[in-house]
Chains A and B, each alone.
Chain A
């Protein structure tokens, strides 16, 4: 009786951690498992039998891979533009004192605080009033806008903790403005910029509400999933979902391995 209790007390942190992890990862496991299912009807909700059909031909469903490509394209561009702009804004807000700095500082957070559906509706009103044609570009503009604030937050935190003397030291050591930025500023700010970019990509890729309002006849991947869920859920959606999850995990693990090896290499030096 006492032995298991003792064991539990010693390993409570590990047990709690594993339980939390299980809770977080459970939906992903369900998605993974059902990507190997062979449903009888149109809905992939009950387990029937094991099959590799969906994995062999993930683009077998009409229009799905087109919408996936479109989503990746939008996410890529939105990430690129939002990261560049957001990084510049973050540097400006931290490093310089200018008029309306305080106002910009708080306004930049508005897209994060505002309910998405409100923003989606007002963006649509704006686009319609301007006579813009809804489609790829309206979606891209909307995505850049809401990704921007997340990039600014991530980069700002990093830049704020950066010692401005480092750049002075670089200039003192014969590095001109461009060299200083490339050799010192950028590498030190890089983790913040990377975090902002990853966040932007994830947010843009799976955004539904704002996209749905402003896409016109264009169909992104989340819109495709939503649309097909009303008529039946193809197994291929689970395949794409699982693949995205696997890619994300691989990126994180690779990052951990690289930084771990670097630290070990540094520690092993005499």
Chain B
């Protein structure tokens, strides 16, 4: 039933899913290159799991086509697809021991001598000593590794992971992230990983697709998404962003060094034209200007003169501060916006940076990005809390 073919890209073409009047996934085109670690990231209910289930064959797409390599598998039932899934709840068979769980796929394909393969696979996930245990006798992390082994032993063209780390505690999750990454590098199979945890997606995946309300908002390498968000949802869902409503006063040109200048709260800010997803903008048009909290430096208002020329500056007053250990996080109220966040590394002790202090926020204009002002500024801020 498995078919070894070399061109193993997963290609979704115009794929969509509707339940009655509810559209879970809007028509979607997506290509996952063979051998890559691909993450579908989004809040719960954004359609990422539905997309995954359509690749697995557990859900029939309403429209569109699923290709594995050159092969159209849209009509194939799950048991005829060279694709295996690691389920969120692991779905280990409770009446079978670990050995038989792992051997299940091989046996169903009529392979008689499974001993060597099962042994090797259990060693790969470091569970060789647990072969005769039942799933309920294993810890969550061990069960998770069995689920991975049970899927991987079939050498699928694609391994689908549906929030596989959601049920684990934080420390174990970090450990399993590295483990999964190691296994993926070792076996070289395409992994498609669904998660709501932006840190997990960024740590593990080569390419992340951020999904929101049944659509892919943006797709790219983790650093690319973080540094160049093209929508407010991506800016807020991946890390934290300070978004300032501003008006264009100088439209940028098109050249490489072109800059846009905007006013916000009476002050003037600049950003590279290439970092504005809303384009250069015409004078007088609105723009959302964004900057990440860790790019901003803080200076006390009386030391404002020491801020180097050419940096974007905004004045404000510290409303709250919290000490995190490696950094201190400040919330600053400013004429350009309430509740701006600033993360300052605790490299040296700073007197005077306490709630109530007047400060100047300054950052390199190159770290500023521009977004279309027509969007909801708070999209993606309400994240799903991590399961503990």
Question: Which residues of A does B touch, CB under 8 Å?
Answer: 163, 165-166, 168-176, 179-180, 183-184, 187-188, 265-267, 269-270
Identify A173's interface contact among B97, B105, B129, B137, CB under 8 A. B105
Q: Does B95 contact A (CB under 8 A)?
A: yes
Closest 9 pairs (CB-CB, A-B): A269-B132, A173-B105, A169-B91, A165-B91, A174-B108, A171-B78, A187-B95, A175-B108, A172-B85
Contact of A188 among B1, B83, B94, B154 (CB under 8 A): B94
Would you call B77 an interface residue if the criterion is a C-beta within 8 Å of the partner chain's C-beta atoms?
A: yes
- Pick from A163, A176, A265: contact of B91, CB under 8 Å: A163
The answer to whether A266 touches B91 (Cβ under 8 A) is no
Give Cα A269 to B1, complex, Å: 34
Set of chain B residues within 8 Å of A165, measured between Cβ atoms:
87-89, 91
Complex alpha-carbon distance, A184 and B92, angstroms = 10
Of B56, B58, B79, B88, the residue contacting A174 (CB under 8 A) is B79
A-B pair number, CB within 8 angstroms: 75
Contacts of B57 in A (CB 8 A): 171-172
B131 touches A269 (CB 8 A): yes
Known contacts: A172-B78, A184-B93. The answer to whether A179 contacts B58 by CB under 8 A is: no
A173 and B133 form a contact (CB under 8 A): no
Q: How far is the CA of A154 from the CA of B80 in the complex (A)?
A: 34
Chain A residue nearest in CB terms to B130: A269
Say if the beta carbon of B84 comes within 8 Å of chain A. Answer: yes
Instruction: Select which of A166, A171, A174 is within 8 A of B109 by beta carbon.
Output: A174
Report the bound CA distance from A170 to B57 in whole Å.
13
Contacts of A174 on B, CB cut-off 8 Å?
1, 79-80, 105, 108-109, 154
**Shortest CB–CB separation between residue B292 and chain A, in angstroms?**
39
**What B residues does A270 contact at CB under 8 A?**
129
Known A166-B93, A168-B87, A169-B85; further 8 A-B contacts with Cβ < 8 A: A172-B56, A172-B83, A173-B108, A174-B80, A266-B132, A267-B137, A269-B132, A269-B133
Our pick among A169, A171, A267 for the contact of B93 (Cβ within 8 Å) is A169
Question: Complex formed: what's the CA distance from A43 to B83 in Å?
Answer: 74
Do B108 and A266 have beta carbons less than 8 Å apart?
A: no
Query: Is B91 a contact of A179 with CB atoms below 8 Å?
Result: no
> 20 interchain pairs (CB within 8 A)?
A165-B89, A166-B93, A168-B91, A171-B57, A172-B56, A172-B57, A172-B79, A172-B151, A173-B104, A173-B108, A173-B154, A179-B108, A183-B104, A183-B108, A187-B95, A188-B94, A188-B95, A266-B137, A269-B133, A270-B129
A166–B91 Cα distance when bound, in Å, is 5
Residues of B within 8 A of A (CB): 1, 56-58, 77-80, 83-85, 87-89, 91-95, 97, 104-105, 108-109, 129, 131-134, 137, 150-151, 154
Whether B85 contacts A266 by the Cβ 8 Å rule is: no
Q: How far is the CB of B246 from chain A (nearest CB, A)?
A: 49
A183 proximity list for chain B (CB < 8 A): 104, 108
Closest to A168 in B: B58
A176 to B79, Cβ gap below 8 A? yes
Determine the distance from Cα of A180 to Cα of B291 in the docked complex, in whole angstroms.
53
Task: Verify B84–A172 contact, CB threshold 8 A.
Answer: yes
In the bound complex, how far is the Cα of B102 from the Cα of A173, in angstroms? Answer: 10
Q: Which residues of B contact A175 (CB under 8 A)?
A: 79, 104, 108
Most chain B beta-carbon neighbours within 10 Å: one of A188, A269, A270: A269
CB of A265, distance to nearest CB on chain B (Å)? 8
| List of B residues within 8 angstroms of A176 by Cβ | 77, 79
CA of A245 to CA of B78 in the docked complex: distance in angstroms? 49
